[in-house]
Amino acid sequence: MEVAETIESVRRIVKNARNEGRKIGLVPTMGALHIGHISLIEAAVKDCDFVIVSIFVNPTQFGPGEDFEKYPRPLDADLKICKKAGVDVVFAPSPEQMYPAENITWVNVEKLTEPLCGKSRPGHFRGVTTVCTKLFNIVTPDTAYFGQKDAQQAIVIKRMVVDLNMPLEIVICPTVREPNGLAVSSRNQYLTARQKKDAANIYKSLQTCRGMIDAGTTEAHQIIAEMRKILQQIPSGQIEYVSIVDAETLESVDKIAGKILAAVAVKVGPARLIDNILVDTGK
């Protein structure tokens, strides 16, 4: 496995792989790799002949007062995980490589970035879409892999690729969960054992949502009220949003029909946790 720290070196490595006719897969990450990331890498290794994992804690997607400084950066452990998972190259650039000067060019997906996490994290998705565009331009992958846990990010990136005719396929992989249902996330590291246990209520609330839909409830507000009751049982929890939206437009729905996304953001102690489920009612 090679480790490239500069744009020039990763471009050279990719050029050689492409000349050999290999299908190139990219797994963009911010490091602190866990089993969720490993599942993305495994999907890439299965589909592609040459897999690149980028590790870059992207400053432009963090707002003031967010956890950019304290975001975990265990590079040595991450490299070991990548090697074991069969990664060909880790691209681990410095902030100076990625943003050598003040950034004044941005990629912005409208509308889809406004609700849900976009409300409380202004500028977050602009940072994500800009850095992903930069990574796609640098690595020129055939396919890039993202997790369903960050559902809004996945929808925004898919739309960006379509709208800007970017020549790659976006693959969204299922959310990986702890045995108690908690979605695996690098930010789970901020939780105490007690908070981790309590945070299982996030997935419980989503399961309740699915159960009510299966049982025929069609009023979104009734489902949201039940979900809130479950989330309120998290002692150190502060609910940011509990939403049921159209899975394509991300607009709130009153009646459950078609494909919906139930999405939740809750601050548990120091960690802002998000989770979601997709439900296709088939109607």
Which positions are catalytic?
Answer: 37
What is the C-alpha separation between 73 and 242, in angstroms, rounded? 30
**Helical packing angle, 75-85 and 35-47, nearest 10°:** 40
* Of residues 128 and 230, the one with the C-beta less far from ligand PAF: 128
* Of residues 58 and 276, the one with the C-beta less far from ligand PAF: 58
What is the C-alpha separation between 133 and 151, in angstroms, rounded? 18
Question: Comparing C-alpha atoms, which of 241, 244, 263, 262 is closest to residue 253?
Answer: 244
Q: Which amino acid makes up residue 169?
A: E
**β-strands 89-91, 169-173 pairing:** unpaired
Q: Which amino acid makes up residue 71?
A: Y
Per-position b or e across 176-194, b if 16+ CB within 10 A of its CB: bbbeeebbbbbbbebbeee
* CA atoms within a 13 Å half-sphere pointing along the CA-CB vector of 187: 19
The H or E element that residue 229 is part of is helix 220-231
Summarize as ranges the residues that interact with ligand PAF (CB under 6 A).
28-30, 58, 61, 128, 131-132, 150, 153
**Contact of 198 with 234, CB cutoff 8 Å:** yes
